Amino acid sequence: MSLIQRFRSLKGDRLNAVRRRLAMLTDQGMTLLHWKLTRPPEVPAFDGVPRIALIVVNFSTTYYLKLMLLTLCEQKQLDLVRRIIIVDNDSRDGGKAFLRKLSNSVERIELVEHAYFLSHARGLRAGVAKLPKIEAHLKSTEQSNLFLICDTDIIFLNPDTLGRLTDVVIKSNAALAGELRYGVNVCPDVQASFFLLRRDCYFRKDIVPFVDHGSPAYWMQRSLWQAGLTLENFASNFDGYILPRLWPFLA
């Protein structure tokens, strides 16, 4: 049986698994090729004054996104957030109309809509790529210099979360801060659900971008570690700063 015949014989979950694997490998290959062949944009060095661009990818989780934004508004230092970029991966929960209205009504919120290639990693890359386009008219001292990667199902519990998180990056001169895990992989890493990342570090030529992977930020974090940059622990879950959605209780 030829390879094409074997592919055609696949059905159901097996076919979906093959499609998902092919899509993941394609994203990895194309993203890494583009990264190697192009020059990164020139980004000013971090000046120690935190200006956050929150990037969130939504796929039919608009209900939880609303809750995340609601609790975000309770932050004491909400003014640290200069931009909120919502990347919608063709949501089917009826939330598109709300997101469009929100983006049109609130100056700080930008919406990016995807209809194809709906991986979380591509959503993150799209959010990162959108930022220089909407801040091109600003002086470098006014542009966002930190990416806050945040899932839709995050609930902000402690009103000092943003202030404490940015303090960690500033005091330790860290490239990334989040709840570090040790022993799972070669280098300490954080889950892609909540962490703060310096913009100037992400756009270094030796830093791998977000790629479609079991953990879309892992290769990027590993390259930060290999480059000798600091990954600082911020116990966001353990110390009660945030709460990821608990399926049995909040779904």
| Token pair of 128 as six digits | 């990162």
pLDDT on residue 13: 64
pLDDT on residue 10: 52
pLDDT on residue 23: 86
Contacts of residue 251, Cβ cutoff 8 Å, sequence gap at least 6: 245
Distance (Å, whole) CA 135 – CA 105: 18
Residue of 229, 220, 240, 227 lying closest to 179 (CA atoms)? 240
* Residue owning tokens 């000798």: 228
Whole-model pTM above 0.85? yes
Cβ-count burial 174-196 (b if 16+ within 10 Å, e if not): bbbbbbbeeeeeeebbbbbbbbb
By CB atoms closer than 10 A (0-12, 13-18, 19+), residue 235 is exposed
pLDDT on residue 187: 84
pLDDT on residue 2: 57
Provide the residue type at 208 as one letter: V
Report the length, in residues, of the chain.
Answer: 251
Question: For residues 51 and 84, is the Cβ–Cβ distance under 8 A?
Answer: no
Phi-psi region of 117 (alpha: psi -120 to 50; beta: other; left: phi over 0): left
pLDDT (tens place) for every residue of the chain, 251 residues total? 555 555 455 555 677 787 788 888 998 999 999 999 998 888 999 999 999 999 999 999 999 999 999 999 999 999 999 999 999 999 999 999 999 999 999 999 999 999 888 899 999 999 999 999 999 999 999 999 999 999 999 999 999 999 999 999 999 999 999 999 887 787 888 887 999 999 999 999 999 999 998 889 999 999 999 999 999 999 999 999 999 875 444 43
Write out the DSSP string of 200-224. HHHTSTTS----SSSSTTHHHHHHH
